[in-house]
Homo-oligomer: A and B are copies of this chain.
Amino acid sequence: MRMYDILRSKRDRVALSPEEIRFFVQGYAKGEIPDYQAAAFIMAVFLNGMTGEEMLAMTNEMLHSGEVLDWSDLPGLKVDKHSTGGVGDKTSLILAPIVAAAGVYVPMISGRGLGHTGGTLDKLESIPGFNVRLDARQFRDVLTSTHMVLAGQTGEIAPADKKLYALRDVTATVESIPLIASSILSKKLAEGIDGLVLDVKVGTGAFMKKQADAQALADTLVMIGTRAGKRVVALITEMNQPLGTHVGNTLEVVESVSVLKGEVGGDLAELSFELAAQMLVLSEAAQDLATAKQKVKELIENGAAFKKFQDVVVAQGGDPVALEEISRMPTANKTKVVNAERSGIIQQIDAEGVGVAAMIMGAGRATVDAEIDHAAGVVLHCKVGDPVDKGASLATLYYNDESKQAEGLARLKAAFVVADHGPAPTNLIHKVIS
């Protein structure tokens, strides 16, 4: 088998066999196939697509290029959630404790933030002492004792995907559904889960800007995940304005705690509870969605979900008191408020704009190795559709670095559009695909 012939087939829209996909993925992971041949391959995939068989083979080969966790000794079906990423999306911090509180194992491996979207690991590290760098033994211990774990990779998960992703990033081949789907699924299936709920975001603040693209990705993820033998559900959800009101690491932990304690509702609570309910159905902890939603409600109301979050914080070395005494977490020295320049209805809060403002102040990373400021971020005082009076505070910028305040504030201000009328109402959850 030669990479040249594989390139030729992909170029000519001849479907590749599983053996050819294996040859490529294994060869590339081992460094036997050079970057330039892999680059030509992914551009050909970008332009000519892949069949379901090819995507399944890509997923399986990338999955098996590294460590695959195994929890078959633990009872029940293990589930997780994956989101394609948005601004203010802290649902993982809420749904994992809910599902674990229902007795379902959630072995959640998360990443760090890049660009205008945050990362679960960064958010967790706002909690003093919280250790996301667990070794395999610690990971298993935490999962076994608390039914959940929130950590980074233990061993080497899907190294072929890691290498290929870096190449896609510099060859303008990121936005390819076959490549996105196989990348997401290979990493998530390596967690050793039985079921996966996917939150495919669509809108101005999301990777997928158009409904049709989000739909195509969701359909593909469900198809490939199912063919890989897993229970998979995908939700297409709106990401035009930030999810919830808090953006930035400490701030997002604070908001998550409020939702877990049942203190606040709104879009963040609605989506987190929906995703948690879907996970309960997938894991057979609930017979149907209505029962699952009732169970979620109970676990919030009886304090079990918040208690579970406290437990996992303790299990991973964190300070549980910080969850209720914010001052124990990194907090900002300075704040600036953005005020409404006119009265009217909030027509738009550009999610990407808010995310970039927070990133500029240090909440996120412009480059992979940038340092972040856990205290920095944004709190919204209104959501799209709310009426506001001239001079009312729209949002507060939290920061420590005065030198970037003007730029951050300008970006935050520009994210708001106040008009005579609000936009047509839309649904938070557009569609559920299973």
A-side residues, CB < 8 A to B, are 4-5, 7-8, 11, 34-44, 46-48, 167, 170-173
Contact = CB atoms under 8 A, between A and B. Distances in A.
Contacts of A42: 40
A4 B170 contact: yes
Contact of A47 (B5, B35, B47, B173): B47
Contacts of A11: 43, 46-47, 172-173
Please indicate which of the listed interface residues A5, A35, A43, A47 has the most CB atoms of chain B within 10 Å of its own CB: A43
Nearest to A46: B11
Copies in the complex: 2
B7 A37 contact: no
Contacts of A172: 4-5, 7-8, 11, 40
Nearest to A35: B36
Given A11-B46, A47-B47, A48-B47, A40 B4 contact: no
18 contacts: A4-B170, A4-B171, A5-B172, A7-B171, A11-B172, A34-B35, A35-B35, A36-B39, A36-B167, A36-B170, A36-B171, A37-B39, A37-B170, A39-B40, A40-B40, A41-B43, A43-B43, A44-B47
Contacts of A48: 47
A24 to B, nearest CB: 13
A40 B173 contact: yes
Nearest to A169: B4
Given A36-B170, A39-B39, 9 more contacts: A7-B172, A11-B47, A34-B35, A36-B36, A37-B39, A40-B40, A40-B171, A43-B47, A44-B47
Contacts of A8: 172
